[in-house]
Structures are given as structure tokens and as C-alpha cells.
Amino acid sequence: MAGTRTWVFVAVVGMAVVLQGAVVPHLIVHRVKPDLVLLTTLACGLLYGPATAARVGLAGGLLQDMLLGKYVGVFALTRMTVGYLAGVAERRLYRENVLILIAVAGLASALTDLMFIGLLRGFGYPVSPVSDARAVVLPAALYNGLLAPFVYRGLHALRRWELARREFREA
């Protein structure tokens, strides 16, 4: 079962990265685009817990790092951290409430972007935290928050399939 589950996560992360590169550029609104890898990582954290979400975030982030070719490691570190935190919060949240899901995704998106800006500043890249927060971080948090229920529902359906498959095999 663990082997099948691993391949499912590989497929999910791969699909998120491909969609991030192929579809998301067409969804940009006022310099802001959704982050499907982050939303996938967040949903995995809420459904599977911190360890799985950290691995999904690390894998998705590394793929983003490799595809973009700059800021190597920054995507991996931020996605892994947010995935772990979402997994830790998983037991304390009522995930089925759409408003809570939107709020959590918005906060996770803002945290990810602020960590990203902080890491870039730490590496000497010229970024302005205040103007970037107003221009990108807050609108991206809203955009990601509004898309989060759709990604969560898709992964939740996958989780139900996985549990039903496990029950069928054990019967």
C-alpha cells in the first residue's frame, strides 16, 4: 500500500508542478498568480498530517526550484515549512468549513510569500518587503485562499478513494 500511496503523491505533485508551469501563467491577475504547489502541499497537510505534507512540499518546491533555475532551495524550504505547519494545525481545524479553509490557505500563502521575501533579502536580492507585501503578498493570499477549497476537495476525493481501496483490500 505504501508503494501505491507514494506513486499517487508523485503524480499529484507532478501534476501540480506541470499545471503551475502550463496553466497558471494564463491565470495571472494584476501580477498575481495562484500557487498550485503550495495549495497541494497545504491540502496534503490538512488531510495527511505534517510528515507527508513536509515531503510533498519539499518535492514540489524542489521541482519548482529546478524548473525556474534561480533561488534554488527557496521554494523547497518555504513549501516544506508551510506543509509541516498545516499538518500540525490539521487536528485543531474544522477543515470542512469553507471559510476556515479559505482563511487558512490565505494565511499560509502570506506566510510562504513573506518567508520567500525574507530568504531573498537574506541572500542579498533587492526586494522591498512593504511594497511587495501590498502589491503581491496580500492579493496572492486572497487568490490562493479562494482557490484552496477546490484543490482541497480534489485531494479529499483522492483520500476517500484511497481509504475505500484499503478497506476493499482488507475485506
The pTM of the full predicted model, rounded to 2 decimals, is 0.90
Q: Which helix (H) or strand (E) holds 6?
A: helix 2-22
- Exposed, middle or buried, 133 (CB in 10 Å: 0-12/13-18/19+)? middle
pLDDT of residue 3: 62
pLDDT of residue 85: 94
pLDDT of residue 2: 57
The dihedrals phi and psi of 71, each to the nearest 5 degrees, come to 60, 40
pLDDT of residue 69: 76
pLDDT of residue 164: 86
Please name each of the domains of the chain with its CATH number. 2-17+31-165 (1.10.1760)
Q: Which residue has the cell 533579502?
A: 121
Whether 58 and 99 have beta carbons less than 8 Å apart is answered as no
pLDDT of residue 36: 96
Chunked into runs of 10 residues, the chain (171 residues) has average pLDDT values of: 72 92 91 94 93 94 88 91 92 81 94 91 82 85 96 92 82 69
Whether 104 and 93 have beta carbons less than 8 Å apart is answered as yes
pLDDT of residue 16: 94
Give rounded-to-5 percent helix, strand, coil for the chain. Answer: 85, 0, 15
